């Protein structure tokens, strides 16, 4: 009987702990939005964060986008040419990049490149008591440290996803048209005929925007909430990458089922 009671207590403790953390994250998000005004009235803070999370992620985004496009071109051609419709390669590459791979893979790379860096930075600031020192100087650490990092990530993410898709389409073009020799005119014209601006490209942008909010929020929250020790910060970084990846994939499914139903 006592054993059962202990098991139930442990279960309940685990659930309330997680719910409490979720509620804390929600309150943190609200506080972050309230204190966001300073971010936009001091654009220099924001510019620095766009530099850190956007510009420094450019290399990994561009190179991976190119390789994803190249692979899509090769694999797509292999399958399509069996049915004698290798001209449809442009549609395949563009639709898979713009709708899914662009936002999702760019967000996964962004979480591991920029999200982890943001968590590490804020976590170390907490561990070395810089956040407390700011509070002592009447500088709100959420307005000064957290909000610019959050908005920097939110602004960078859609741009990075668009770059990923564009470079990927170029990679598909390189393999399909330049190396294999698919007809260039039908590659582009079939692509333009079936990729719709509103249903495909806009939905991709909305997806990448939502992923940007999710990844940036998880990154700043894990950093702010980390245990201020070396081990605590390293665990917070791991949690950022894992939680972001799960959140991106789950959100992707939810968004896709809303956006592309009946197509």
Partner 1 sequence: MNRTVLDFWVGLFVAIGIASLLFLALKVGNLGSFSPSQTYVLKAAFDNIGGLKVRGAVKSAGVVVGRVSSIEFDPKTYEAVVSMEIDTHYRFPRDSSLSILTSGLLGEQYIGVDAGIDDQQNLDGSQLVTRTNSAVVLEKLISQFLFDKAAEPPAPKP
Given 4, 197, 257, 261, the residue binding partner 1 (CB under 8 A): 197
Cβ closest to partner 1, residue 60 vs residue 127: 60
Question: Does residue 165 bind partner 1 (CB under 8 A)?
Answer: yes
Nearest approach in angstroms of CB 93 to partner 1 is 9
- Helical H runs in the chain? 2-34, 37-41, 43-53, 58-80, 89-95, 102-110, 116-127, 130-136, 141, 147-173, 184-194, 203-224, 230-259
For residue 36, count CB atoms less than 10 angstroms from its CB and return exposed for 0-12, middle for 13-18, buried for 19 or more: middle
Nearest approach in angstroms of CB 8 to partner 1 is 52
Per-residue CA distances from 218 to 69, 211, 242, 247 (Å): 29, 10, 10, 9
44/40 Cα distance (integer angstroms): 9
Other Cβ atoms closer than 10 A to 257: 9
Given 143, 149, 200, 248, the residue binding partner 1 (CB under 8 A): 200
234 token code pair:
């390293």
Nearest approach in angstroms of CB 239 to partner 1 is 28
Cβ closest to partner 1, residue 122 vs residue 167: 167
Nearest approach in angstroms of CB 48 to partner 1 is 7
Binding letters toward partner 1, positions 100-119, x by CB under 8 A: --------------------
For partner 1, the binding residues (CB under 8 A) are: 44, 47-48, 50-51, 54-55, 58, 85, 94, 98, 156, 158-160, 162-163, 165-167, 169, 188, 191-197, 199-201, 204-205
């Amino acid at each position: 009987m006592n054993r059962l009671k202990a098991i139930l207590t442990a279960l309940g403790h685990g659930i309330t702990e997680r719910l409490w953390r979720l509620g804390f994250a929600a309150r943190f998000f609200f506080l972050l939005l309230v204190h966001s005004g300073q971010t936009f009235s001091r654009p220099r803070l924001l510019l620095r964060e766009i530099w850190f999370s956007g510009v420094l992620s450019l290399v990994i985004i561009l190179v991976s986008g190119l390789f994803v496009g190249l692979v899509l071109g090769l694999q797509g051609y292999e399958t399509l040419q069996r049915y004698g419709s290798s001209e449809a390669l442009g549609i395949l590459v563009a639709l898979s990049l713009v709708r899914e791979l662009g936002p999702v893979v760019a967000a996964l790379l962004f979480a591991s490149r920029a999200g982890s860096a943001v968590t590490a930075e804020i976590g170390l600031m907490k561990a070395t008591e810089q956040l407390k020192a700011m509070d002592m100087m009447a500088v709100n650490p959420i307005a000064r440290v957290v909000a610019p990092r959050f908005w920097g990530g939110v602004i960078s993410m859609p741009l990075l996803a668009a770059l990923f898709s564009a470079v990927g389409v170029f990679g598909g073009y390189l393999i399909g048209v330049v190396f294999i020799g698919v007809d260039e005119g039908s590659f582009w014209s079939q692509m333009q005929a079936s990729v719709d601006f509103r249903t495909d490209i806009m939905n991709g942008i909305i997806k990448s925007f939502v992923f940007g909010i999710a990844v940036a929020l998880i990154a700043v929250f894990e950093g702010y909430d980390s245990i201020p020790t070396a081990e605590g910060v390293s665990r917070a970084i791991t949690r950022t990458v894992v939680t972001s990846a799960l959140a991106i994939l789950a959100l992707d499914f939810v968004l896709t089922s809303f956006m592309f139903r009946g197509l």
